């Protein structure tokens, strides 16, 4: 099993979970606003009940208004508590149906109580009801499903139709307000599309993390044009690995076993690279090219790279009968997207990569699993390395001083 990547089923589950959680965040924010509004409304209704003459100029008001308001506040609080539950995303679909129905019932009760208490003396309260219906209509926009906006819009229209009937509102005015509520609902549907794309973007980020390094994905989402159009020179540390004798070893195994072994190998190596702040540029069969310090800068990238390499040399012994060779070199590279048309690959190129590859190949000759260049050694804060002296590097006129771990392999 590839320990560095998730299975298709797990990825699908994770993508769906991210989408639901993005919707849950919006629903929770709305629940906070709803709870605060109802708390303020309940407090005012209670004050009106106890001081009707002072606040409303009425000798008394029915207690039902305060009771309904307090009950609504309690139910809204329960919804908020449910949304704050760690597993709330699992029953989010049911909540997104129940909450609009609750809001609709609340407006209907408010309309009925106001009509009983103040309908004949305060017909202008219909403007408040219209505002509440508009809020209900647009609230569907916070949900990922556009059907939620349709539901809240229909409920808002029904509520205002009910209020217009109770207050005997002029038909022309009623039609105008209904069209206003409908327009608000259509705006909510447009907002729902934006929310849906937001959720898909987060899900897409999660999915792309399975195929590209996390820092590359973050750079692509934060500044895609810059990543595509502006190759940049970065100071990095390159780590190149390769298994010794893998070709002969793989000839003795069936293809399925070779694939399983490579998956386990790549998963182990990539997880170690990522744990130390780097990313895998590419796998080359049993080999790997890892980058520390691009596209985003990484402080002490040489230190991170050497620590990751030391961990690889030790960890590989637990899964492979074959030894590993590791070459490490630091210096400038050009990082950017390579390719044209429908196939692009983010990669790094430059002499630094070539030298790291040459050092890895040299491990076979010098008998050490890990060779570090002088350029990398100079960047280490605590260089626990010992020099092997200048060594000739294929393709280079000058020799290169190389180092190995001072504590042995």
pLDDT digits (tens, 9 = 90+) for 185-208: 888 888 777 766 766 666 666 656
pLDDT computed for residue 229 by the predictor: 56
The class level of CATH for 222-405 reads alpha beta
Residue 75 — pLDDT band, cuts 50, 70, 90? confident
The DSSP code for 365 is H
Q: Are strands 324-338 and 370-373 parallel, antiparallel or unpaired?
A: parallel
Query: 316-320: long-range contacts (C-beta < 8 A, 24 or more apart)?
Result: 316/243, 316/265, 316/268, 316/269, 319/264, 319/265, 319/268, 320/243, 320/261, 320/265
User: What whole-number distance in Å separates Cα of residue 391 and Cα of residue 409?
Assistant: 20
Give the residue from 171, 188, 78, 61 showing the smallest Cα distance to 133. 188
Residue 193, exposed/middle/buried by CB under 10 A (0-12, 13-18, 19+)?
Answer: middle
Do 294 and 330 touch, CB atoms closer than 8 A?
Answer: no
| Range from 104-118, 120-134, 263-277, 337-351 carrying the lowest mean pLDDT | 337-351
Question: Residue 325: in which H helix or E strand, if any?
Answer: strand 324-338
Q: Which pTM value belongs to this model? A: 0.56
Band (pLDDT 50/70/90 cuts) for residue 247 is confident
Confidence of residue 2 (pLDDT cuts 50, 70, 90): very low
> Is residue 386 a contact partner of residue 409, using CB atoms and an 8 Å limit?
no
- Residue 184's H or E segment, with its range, is helix 171-208
CB burial string 79-96: b at 16+ within 10 A, e below: bbebbeeeebbeebeebb
- Cα separation, 114 vs 129, in Å, equals 10
pLDDT for the residue numbered 3: 41
Q: Which of 379, 229, 213 is nearest to 295 (CA)?
A: 213
Alpha-carbon gap, residue 359 to 327, rounded angstroms: 5
* Residue with tokens 């639901």, as numbered in its chain: 20
304 vs 292: CA distance, rounded Å: 7
In angstroms, the CA 185 to CA 190 distance is 9
For residue range 110-151, what is the model confidence (pLDDT) as tens digits? Answer: 888 778 766 666 667 788 889 889 988 888 877 766 678 888
Q: What is the largest CA-CA distance in the chain?
A: 103
pLDDT at 6: 47
The CA distance from 181 to 140, in Å, is: 13
* Residue 136: CA count within 13 A, CB half-sphere: 29
Contact 64, 132 (CB under 8 A): no
Contacts of 383 (CB under 8 A, 6+ apart): 377, 403
Give me the residues paired with residue 287 across strands. Answer: 284
Ordered by start, the domain boundaries in the chain are: 8-208, 222-405
For the chain, what is the radius of gyration of the CA atoms? 33
CA distance 336 to 349: 9
How much of the chain, in percent, has pLDDT values that exceed 70?
81
Asked which of 108-122, 177-191, 202-216, 381-395 is least confident by mean pLDDT, the reply is: 202-216
């Amino acid at each position: 099993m590839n320990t560095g990547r998730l299975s298709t089923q797990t990825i699908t589950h994770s993508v769906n979970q991210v989408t639901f959680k993005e919707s849950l965040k919006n629903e929770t924010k709305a629940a906070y606003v709803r709870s605060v509004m109802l708390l303020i409304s309940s407090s005012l209704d209670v004050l009106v009940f106890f001081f009707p003459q002072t606040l409303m100029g009425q000798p008394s008001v029915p207690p039902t208004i305060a009771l309904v308001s307090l009950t609504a506040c309690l139910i809204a609080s329960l919804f908020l508590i449910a949304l704050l539950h760690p597993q709330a995303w699992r029953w989010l679909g049911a909540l997104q149906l129940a909450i609009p129905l609750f809001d609709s019932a609340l407006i209907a009760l408010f309309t009925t109580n106001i009509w009983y208490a103040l309908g004949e003396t305060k017909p202008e309260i219909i403007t408040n009801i219209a505002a509440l219906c508009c809020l209900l209509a647009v609230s569907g926009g916070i949900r990922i499903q556009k059907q939620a906006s349709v539901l809240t819009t229909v409920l808002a229209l029904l509520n205002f139709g009910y209020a217009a009937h109770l207050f005997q509102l002029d038909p022309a005015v009623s039609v105008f307000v209904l069209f206003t509520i409908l327009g608000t609902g259509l705006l909510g549907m447009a907002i729902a599309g934006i929310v849906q794309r937001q959720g898909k973007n987060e899900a897409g980020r999660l999915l792309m993390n399975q195929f590209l390094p996390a820092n590359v994905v973050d750079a692509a989402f934060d500044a895609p044009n810059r990543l595509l159009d502006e190759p940049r020179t970065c100071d990095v540390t390159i780590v190149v690995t390769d298994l010794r004798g893998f070709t002969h070893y793989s000839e003795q195994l069936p293809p399925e076993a070779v694939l399983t072994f490579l998956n386990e190998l790549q998963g182990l190596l990539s997880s170690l690279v990522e744990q130390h702040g780097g990313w895998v540029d590419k796998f080359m069969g049993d080999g790997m090219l890892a980058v520390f310090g691009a596209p985003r800068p990484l402080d002490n990238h040489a230190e991170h790279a050497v620590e990751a390499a030391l961990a690889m040399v030790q960890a590989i012994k637990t899964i492979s009968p074959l030894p590993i060779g590791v070459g490490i070199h630091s210096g400038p590279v050009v990082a950017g997207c390579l390719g044209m048309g429908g196939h692009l690959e983010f990669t790094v190129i430059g002499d630094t990569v070539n030298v790291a590859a040459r050092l890895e190949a040299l491990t076979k000759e010098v008998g050490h699993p890990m060779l570090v260049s002088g350029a990398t050694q100079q960047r280490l804060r605590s260089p626990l390395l010992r020099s092997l002296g200048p060594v000739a590097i294929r393709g280079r006129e000058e020799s290169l001083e190389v180092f190995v771990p001072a504590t042995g392999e």
